[in-house]
């Protein structure tokens, strides 16, 4: 990160509070991103110029199925090289993903994945055909291991367990996701918690360099929640969402080959036909109650730490040392503390602390932490991360 970055960030934050017109949207009315409820038609057009077009060799696709699908349907540039503005507004319009979360995700993408602070790739570094090699273009989302892209994702492999391939779906993990869906919709009614626990346990048991620092912990928890809260079809018959196995295959880039076998195609994520986004944006408010439920089901999945260079060597961080006494290993799970800690991590553990908190709070309650009765946490002692080999080996 250069010293120029904070200024760039600040400017882009000013600009995202404005309403933009997107001429390419046929069915979706332009709106101010800050509106909490989507007023435009919720059925997402996947025909005509928004029909699925698979990525070509030069198009970039990466770890986020939702961003890949937006590019495949030409809601984002098909190249996968996008602006921070597009990344903040379009996932909100098409997926019903809260602007608080898009701002958070884009801040991370901008700081860690962008070269110029304005553009970034949703996959690896952009090819010279797209961006002159003389300009530094940034590593893209795939190149953000431990700064954004995290271990124990719902379907993607851990960076060190898969030779640096942190962006492709791994079939055993997808099978576990399907099993938790119990043929249809089981993920929504609690199965995602089972899957999250399984993915965490799998990383502990298979990745000697599993790193589960506070940021990675929160991000991989959230991506699991996105599967059941943002990917399902909220058509009029299913106001609480419906996630069929068939839609999971589509959303995660599978197709049926000539022999009738399902085949995974990297980067081919699609929005299903007849898919409706959520009636109300998914924001940190809904996420909070779901994180509490997860904490009740399995505290270990909300306890920062990591493996020590061998499998099954998970060593939790001492919470009192990590948080300067704001929490202890015991109080982390009392009252609202689990969500307090997660949201303070999002605010504090960001590259530029002031800007990050401004960004996250912009989408919601400024006094959320007060309402929850959170202990004050002034800082995270990040030097504690250094004893974990999976952190030192960061990208
Ligand atoms: C706003 C811009 C967005 C950016 C920059 C972004 C970026 C990312 C990144 C870097 C990851 C990898 C995280 C990890 O390794 O755990 C990821 C994963 C994921 N994202 Fe996004 N994302 C965005 C929007 C969305 C939206 C709108 C959804 C809607 C569902 C979404 C759903 C997911 C899911 C489900 C995963 C986990 C993938 C898996 O392992 O199966 N993201 N995203
Ligand atoms: C799976 O679905 C069946 C049939 O609907 C139901 O009886 C069973 O309890 C479900 N299992 C889980 C783990 O949800
Ligand atoms: C947790 O948050 C809720 C909702 O804001 C609040 O009503 C409750 O008092 C909080 N609990 C504690 C122990 O502070």
pLDDT (tens place) for every residue of the chain, 395 residues total: 333 333 233 323 323 322 222 222 222 223 334 334 445 678 999 999 999 999 999 999 999 999 999 999 999 999 999 999 999 999 999 999 988 888 889 888 988 899 888 999 999 999 888 887 767 778 999 999 988 899 999 999 999 999 999 999 999 999 999 999 999 999 999 999 999 999 999 999 999 999 999 999 999 999 999 999 999 999 999 999 999 999 999 999 999 888 888 999 999 999 999 999 999 999 888 899 899 999 999 999 999 999 999 999 999 999 999 999 999 999 999 999 999 999 888 877 555 544 444 545 544 455 678 888 999 888 889 999 999 999 976 55
Q: Model-level pTM?
A: 0.88
Neighbours of 350 (CB within 10 A): 19
Nearest atom in ligand 2 to the alpha carbon of residue 190 is: 14
Q: Ligand 2 pocket: which residues have CB below 6 Å?
A: 182, 186
Q: Which of 60, 66, 210, 224 to mutate to test the pocket of ligand 1 (most atoms within 8 A of CB)?
A: 66
- The sign of the torsion formed by the CA atoms of 332, 336, 339, 344 equals negative
Predicted pLDDT of residue 4: 32
- Give the containing element (helix H, strand E) for 315: strand 315-316
Q: Which atom of ligand 3 is nearest to the CA of 374?
A: 14
DSSP annotation of 311 reads T
Measured from the alpha carbon of residue 191, the closest ligand is 2
Q: Which atom of ligand 3 is least distant from the CA of 334?
A: 13
Per-residue confidence (pLDDT) for residue 217, from 0 to 100: 97
Give residue 150 CA to ligand 1 midpoint distance, Å.
Answer: 10
What are the b/e assignments for 10-43, b being 16+ CB within 10 Å? Answer: eebbeebeeebeeeebeebeebebeeeebeeebb
CA 367 / ligand 2 centre spacing (Å) = 40
Which segments of 14-86 are extended strands (E)?
81-83
| Residue 334 in contact with ligand 3 by CB distance below 6 A | no
The three-state secondary structure class of 254 is: strand
H helical segments located in 26-98? 65-72, 84-95
Q: Whose CA is nearest to atom 2 of ligand 3?
A: 372
**Atom of ligand 1 at shortest range from CA of 230:** 30
Which tokens go with 322? 């990590």
Q: CA nearest 120: which of 268, 264, 9?
A: 9
Tokens standing for residue 279: 């009636």
Scanning 123-191, the segments in alpha helix (DSSP H) are 171-181
Q: How far is the CA of 237 from the centre of ligand 2 (A)?
A: 21
Q: How far is the CA of 370 from the centre of ligand 3 (A)?
A: 9
């Amino acid at each position: 990160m250069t010293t120029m970055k904070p200024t760039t960030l600040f400017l882009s934050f000013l600009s995202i509070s404005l309403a933009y017109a997107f001429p390419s949207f046929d069915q979706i009315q332009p709106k101010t991103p800050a509106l909490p409820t989507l007023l435009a038609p919720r059925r997402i057009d996947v025909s005509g110029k928004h029909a699925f077009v698979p990525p070509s060799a030069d198009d970039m696709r990466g770890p986020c199925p939702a961003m890949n699908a937006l590019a495949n349907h030409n809601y984002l540039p098909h190249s996968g090289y996008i602006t921070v503005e597009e990344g903040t507004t379009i996932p909100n319009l098409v997926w019903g993903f809260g602007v608080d979360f898009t701002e958070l995700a884009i801040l991370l993408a901008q700081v860690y994945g962008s070269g110029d602070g304005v553009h970034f790739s949703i996959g690896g570094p952009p090819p010279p055909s797209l961006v002159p090699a003389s300009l530094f273009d940034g590593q893209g989302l795939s190149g953000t291991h431990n700064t954004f892209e995290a271990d124990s994702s719902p379907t993607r492999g851990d960076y060190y367990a898969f030779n640096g391939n942190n962006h492709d779906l791994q079939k055993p993990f997808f099978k576990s996701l399907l099993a938790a869906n119990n043929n249809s919709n089981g993920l929504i009614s609690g199965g995602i918690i089972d899957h999250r626990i399984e993915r965490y346990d799998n990383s502990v048991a298979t990745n000697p360099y599993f790193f589960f620092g506070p940021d990675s912990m929160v991000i991989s928890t959230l991506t699991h929640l996105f599967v059941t809260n943002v990917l399902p079809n909220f058509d009029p018959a299913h106001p609480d969402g419906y996630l069929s196995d068939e839609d999971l295959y589509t959303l995660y880039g599978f197709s049926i080959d000539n022999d009738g076998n399902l085949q995974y195609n990297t980067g081919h994520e699609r929005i299903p036909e007849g898919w409706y986004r959520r009636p109300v944006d998914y924001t940190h408010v809904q996420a909070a109650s779901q994180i509490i439920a997860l904490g009740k089901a399995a505290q270990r999945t909300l306890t920062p730490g990591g493996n020590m260079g061998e499998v099954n060597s998970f060593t939790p961080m001492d919470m009192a040392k990590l948080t300067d006494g704001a929490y202890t290993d015991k109080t982390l799970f009392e009252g609202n503390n689990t969500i307090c800690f997660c949201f303070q991590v999002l605010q504090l553990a960001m590259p530029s602390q002031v800007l990050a908190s401004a960004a996250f709070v912009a989408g919601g309650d400024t006094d959320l932490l007060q309402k929850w009765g959170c202990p004050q946490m002034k800082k995270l002692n990040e030097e504690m991360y250094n004893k974990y080999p999976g952190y030192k080996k960061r990208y």
